[in-house]
Amino acid sequence: MKTKIIKLKEDKLSKEDLEIIDQAFRDGKLVVFPTETVYGLGANGLDPDADKKIFKAKGRPSDNPLILHIAYMSQINELVKEIPDVARELSDNFWPGPLTMIFNKSDLVPDAVTAGLDTVAIRMPSHPVAREILKYTKLPIAAPSANLSGKPSPTTYKRVMEDLDGLVDIIVDGGKPSYGIESTVLDLTSDPAMILRPGGVTKEDLRKIIPNIAIDNTIIDSNDKTVPKSPGQKYKHYAPQADCYTFAGDPFNVVNEINKRIETNKDKKIAVLATDQTVDEYEGAYMVINLGSRENLREIAQNLFEALRSCDDNKVDIIYAEGFELRGLGVGIMNRLLKASAGKVVLGL
């Protein structure tokens, strides 16, 4: 397959480009486009044959549900059985933005999107290019992250090309997403509502509207027996090729422990994922990548997946990653690190 590349003109898509993308969706084709979280691999969410192509292109397990992306709140009406009052309040506060809500699905939504479940995940992205596309096509677009299944999600056009060039019909080059990790997923079909995946909309944000909100334990402790209602719940995700270890605790103690392990593994190519506060404290590592300041977790999140991809580029053997406090956006960052580490975490430092 020859993949068509669409570049922005003055940070926007032309009407001709929008027509090409819209027609591609209506013809059952695959289109990669930027969102504020990561790049998404999109297909017409109402076309089960097109949706199945997403799983094939990514090598994605068929029991891992997709998220439908919409431009207008009115589109939900035909996709779900009912809209709880709290969903309207949440949409008023967080849409467009990095929040996905799970509803009981209508019969219109194909099983290919929901992995056979009777629930559907829906979100309204805020990225201007994604909004242009979704407003123009007026279709609900099923779109997981635009990477090969299991690899770190792509936050640049270059990484999308590495994974999917020749496997999809169109790739839109829309620059770097502003969040860098996938959306928060909130299950409104459970009582109380439950966070299934942390992201840019934090637990603290959501508690202002749902004070008794629950948090799924697979966020920190993955369980292979889980039937996933949300992407990122069950399978190893965001994984670099190297063995990855995450260190949680006092940053000073973390630095000391990582330096000890670097000394012990002198024969290995070791990468360290560090921060502004610690980047100059490491000795003997093959490479030290600065994710940004601990005072700016948005910056850390933006840089995380690209850092993991850079480790693959350099064919390192081991990655030692600093951990973050489990509050605010730190919960989403730690969730991605723990998935990337496949549970290899050093605690209590």
| Mean pLDDT score, 37-65 | 96
Note whether 4-219 and 243-346 share their fold: no
- Higher pLDDT: 62 or 102? It is 102
- Higher pLDDT: 219 or 39? It is 39
End-to-end CA distance of the chain: 50
Q: For residue 10, what are the CA distances in angstroms to 7, 129, 228?
A: 10, 12, 40
pLDDT digits (tens, 9 = 90+) for 305-325: 999 999 999 999 999 999 999
Are 246 and 341 spatial neighbours (Cβ–Cβ below 8 Å)?
Answer: yes
Q: For residue 31, what are the CA distances in angstroms to 17, 20, 108, 143, 234?
A: 12, 10, 22, 9, 26
pLDDT digits (tens, 9 = 90+) for 264-303: 999 999 999 999 999 999 999 999 999 999 999 999 999 9
Dihedral sign, CA of 129, 131, 134, 137? negative
The residue type at 183:
S
Tokens linked to 181: 């990790």
User: DSSP of 81-148, one letter per residue?
Assistant: S---HHHHHHHHHH-SSSEEEEEEBPTTS-HHHHTT-SEEEEE----HHHHHHHHHH-S-EE--BSSS
pLDDT digits (tens, 9 = 90+) for 154-200: 999 999 999 999 999 999 999 999 999 999 999 999 999 999 999 99
pLDDT digits (tens, 9 = 90+) for 230-249: 555 554 567 899 999 999 99
Domain assignments of the chain as residue spans, ordered by start: 4-219, 243-346
pLDDT of residue 224: 47
**Does residue 223 have a pLDDT over 80?**
no
**Does residue 258 have a pLDDT over 90?**
yes
The enclosing H or E element of 69 equals strand 67-69
pLDDT digits (tens, 9 = 90+) for 15-40: 999 999 999 999 999 999 999 999 99
Please state, in angstroms and rounded to a whole number, the distance separating the CA atoms of residues 158 and 145. 14
Residues forming a β-bridge with 67: 121
Average pLDDT of every residue of the chain: 94
pTM: 0.94
Q: What residue has token string 């860098």?
A: 180
Tokens linked to 26: 């209506």
Please state, in angstroms and rounded to a whole number, the distance separating the CA atoms of residues 37 and 294. 20
Tokens linked to 4: 């068509």
What confidence category does residue 150 fall into, taking pLDDT thresholds of 50, 70 and 90?
confident
What percentage of residues in the chain have a pLDDT greater than 70?
95
pLDDT digits (tens, 9 = 90+) for 114-137: 999 999 999 999 999 999 999 999
Would you say domain 243-346 falls under CATH 3.40.50.11030?
yes
Query: Where does 4-219 sit in CATH, by number?
Result: 3.90.870.10
Please state, in angstroms and rounded to a whole number, the distance separating the CA atoms of residues 82 and 75. 12
Count the Cβ atoms, other than its own, within 10 Å of residue 258.
27
Q: Find all residues with CB under 8 Å of 56, minimum gap 6, and list them.
A: none
Q: For residue 129, what are the CA distances in angstroms to 7, 36, 173, 270, 335?
A: 11, 9, 10, 38, 27
